[in-house]
Amino acid sequence: MATPEVFGTQPAPELWLVAGTAALALVAVVPHAIWRLSRNAITIAHEGGHGLVALVTGRHLQGIRLHSDTSGLTVSRGRPTGLGMILTAAAGYTAPPLLGLGGAWLLADHRITLLLWVATALLVAMLVMIRNAYGAITVILTGAAFLLVSWLTEPGVQAAFAYAAVWFLLLGGVRPAFELQAKRRRGGAPDSDADQLARLTHVPAAMWFFLFHAVSLCSLIGGGRWLLGL
């Protein structure tokens, strides 16, 4: 594909397509049976957020694992305390909605093809750090979907795929923190991101949950307004 097509703009889709992809993303997030499968994509963004911030803050990223129960693990080496570790721990639950917000900004500027290529590049970069077979297969399939859509489909199909993906990140980024809170109330997840942050900062885990919810809900509202042209 020629460079001008990647960095140029594409026609804005009709409002019915934007609304339809939002409904499709909602169907992927709300029913529990579908969410058990679709949540894998949110886990990719979650663990990718941990990994990216670990690298940016100077930590040594050792590897990322994605599991079939939609959990994941990112291992980095460096100081066990300090700002770098705090930012790395905080990046997981905030990454999917913030990626969705960034995607909504690109789509609001009609950069559909650029969004697809940026997503593909991020997935390829993440694949290098995957350390288990299930994780590698999941990332390869997701990256292949973005690559094939960007190379082989018409602009209308690209727009529908891009909008559905961004809506999914925005909507799917809201649910995991609520699920984690419910699990902690039942006595599970004693070493969650919120609990790690509480130990690192001496700020109660409840405040970190407030941050996760604030980021995800504000991203959904802001990103949704951009996608709907408001």
Domain for residue 58, yes or no?
A: no
Domain for residue 32, yes or no?
A: yes
Domain for residue 2, yes or no?
A: no
- Please say if the pLDDT value at position 2 is more than 50: no
Domain for residue 77, yes or no?
A: no
User: pTM value?
Assistant: 0.94
Q: How many structural domains is the chain composed of?
A: 1
What is the residue range of 116's domain? 13-39+92-227
Domain for residue 55, yes or no?
A: no
Domain for residue 6, yes or no?
A: no
Query: Mean pLDDT, to the nearest integer, of 198-206?
Result: 96
C-alpha–C-alpha distance, residues 201 and 80, integer Å: 12
Domain for residue 73, yes or no?
A: no
* Tens of pLDDT, residues 179-194: 999 999 888 878 899 9
* Predicted local distance difference test score (pLDDT) of residue 85: 97
* Predicted local distance difference test score (pLDDT) of residue 4: 42
